[in-house]
Amino acid sequence: MRSRRLRLRFDVARGNVLLTAHIALLRGINVGGRKKVAMGDLRALLRDLGLADPHTLLQSGNLVFRDDGRDGAHLEELLQREAGRRLGLDTETFVRSAREWRAIIAGNPFRAEASRDPGHLLVLLLKAAPDAAKAAALRAAITGPEQVDVRGRHAYAVYPRGIGRSRLTNALVERTLGTRATGRNWNTVLELAALAGG
């Protein structure tokens, strides 16, 4: 029942324009005492920017909001610029529509791992889609039991022994793929989908 109420809320229209649900991830927020920001301040920022129905999830810069038609690249630029100007945050922002988020979930190549151990399956959002050679180079760089599958502007990574001590770090991913990245575990991915009405 709760998910149906959320879905209906995200289908409301402003005037004659249907508002689109979006999910934004801020990179490296509230990690190790760096880039500290209150989620209430982020929600206030979204409202000030005219973004409707703002929500946050956890304390790590996961945002859900509605907008009347701007694309993800425009919203990324807007959020990055204004988070820096108004909140003093120097961080990358990754935006996907609720439809794109549902496609991320549907395209998961590690379904067994998602069911068995969702906390150790990460979805990495990428700023740009790497070519096949870079994706192959990332797979070749793995020295442990991790698995990676790169699909367009997203990568799926399985960390059977946990993320903290793995050599498959975000820095390695970014250096090898040649693009910026931020990741969330499968539990968070599903919670954000529910919050966005999907």
Q: What proportion of the chain, given as a percentage, has pLDDT over 90? A: 82
Question: Per the domain annotation, does 193 fall within a domain?
Answer: no
Same domain, 73 and 116: no
For the entire predicted model, the pTM comes to 0.88
When pLDDT is cut at 50, 70 and 90, the band that residue 69 belongs to is confident
CA distance linking residue 170 with residue 153, whole number of Å: 15
Question: Per the domain annotation, does 29 fall within a domain?
Answer: yes
Same domain, 113 and 75: no
Question: Per the domain annotation, does 163 fall within a domain?
Answer: yes
Asked if residues 83 and 94 have their Cβ atoms less than 8 Å apart, the reply is no
Q: What is the predicted pLDDT for the residue at 64?
A: 98
**Pick from 101, 127, 158: which residue ends a domain?**
101
> In degrees to the nearest 10, what's the CA dihedral of 38, 118, 172, 32?
30
Question: Per the domain annotation, does 196 fall within a domain?
Answer: no
Question: Per the domain annotation, does 120 fall within a domain?
Answer: yes
When pLDDT is cut at 50, 70 and 90, the band that residue 44 belongs to is very high
In whole angstroms, how far apart are CA 75 and each of 46, 71, 93, 184, 190?
11, 6, 9, 20, 22
b/e per residue 8-31 (b: at least 16 CB within 10 A): eebeeeeeeeebbbbbbbbbbbbe
Same domain, 39 and 9: yes
Could you list the residue range(s) of the whole structural domain that residue 134 is in? 105-187
Question: Per the domain annotation, does 198 fall within a domain?
Answer: no
Amino acid at 110: F
Asked if residues 63 and 55 have their Cβ atoms less than 8 Å apart, the reply is yes
Q: What is the predicted pLDDT for the residue at 17?
A: 59
Number of domains into which the chain is organized: 2
Question: Per the domain annotation, does 132 fall within a domain?
Answer: yes
Answer whether residue 33 shows pLDDT above 60: yes
Compute the average pLDDT of residues 29-54.
90
Answer whether residue 13 shows pLDDT above 90: no
Question: Per the domain annotation, does 57 fall within a domain?
Answer: yes
Query: Tell me, what CATH number does 77's domain have?
Result: 3.30.70.1280
